[in-house]
Amino acid sequence: MKTVLFCAALLCGGVALAAEPAAKKGAAPKPVAAAPSANVAAELAEADALFAKKSYPDALAKYTKLANAGNLMAQQHLGEMYFYGEAGSVDMDKAAQWFQKAAAKGNAVAIASLELMKQREARRADLDYWIVKYDGSDVRTNDYRCPAPRFPTMSKVNEEIDYYSGKMKDWEACHNRWVKQLNASLPLTKRIPEDIAKLMTKDETEKANVHLKEVGDRLAEDTKVAGRMIVADFDAWRAGTEAYVKEHNEMVKNAPPPDNDK
Each residue's pLDDT tens digit, 130-175: 999 999 999 999 889 999 999 999 999 999 999 999 999 999 999 9
Percentage of the residues of the chain whose pLDDT score is greater than 90: 75
Q: Is residue 31 part of a domain?
A: no
Range of the domain at 88: 2-13+38-122
Q: In this structure, is the dihedral angle defined by the CA atoms of residues 176, 177, 180 and 182, taken in order, positive or negative?
A: negative
Q: Rounded to whole angstroms, what are the CA distances from 106 to 71, 75, 112, 148?
A: 12, 12, 11, 64
Domain limit, last residue, from 78, 97, 122: 122
Domain match, 142 and 247 both: yes
Q: In terms of domains, do 106 and 188 share one?
A: no
Q: Which residue has the higher pLDDT, 4 or 30?
A: 30
Residue at which a domain ends, from 62, 95, 122: 122
Least confident of 23-37, 90-104, 183-197, 243-257: 23-37
CB-based contacts of 82: which residues, under 8 Å, 6+ apart?
Answer: 90, 91, 92, 94, 95, 98
Provide the pLDDT confidence category of residue 16 given band limits of 50, 70 and 90: very low
**Helix boundaries (H) for the chain:** 2-12, 36-52, 56-68, 72-84, 92-103, 108-122, 124-128, 158-185, 194-197, 202-254
The verdict on 141 and 80 lying in the same domain is: no
User: pLDDT-derived band of residue 21, with 50, 70 and 90 as boundaries?
Assistant: very low
Residue 188 has a pLDDT of 97
**Among candidate residues 1, 7, 15, 12, the one with its CA nearest the CA of residue 80:** 1
Domain membership of residue 210 (yes or no) is yes
Query: What CATH number does the domain containing 56 carry?
Result: 1.25.40.10
Q: What is the Cα–Cα distance from 103 to 95, expressed in whole angstroms?
A: 12
143 and 94 assigned to the same domain: no
Q: Of 186, 175, 171, 187, whose CA–CA distance to 223 is shortest? A: 175
- How far the first Cα of the chain sits from its last, in Å, is 103
Q: Note the pLDDT of residue 32.
A: 41
Do 86 and 164 lie in a common domain?
A: no
Domain presence at residue 246: yes
Do both 96 and 179 map to the same domain? no
- Domain boundary pick from 72, 97, 122: 122
Using CA atoms, how far apart are residues 96 and 101, in angstroms rounded to an integer? 9
Domain-embedded: residue 260: no
Find the mean pLDDT for residues 204-223: 97
Provide the domain count of the chain: 2
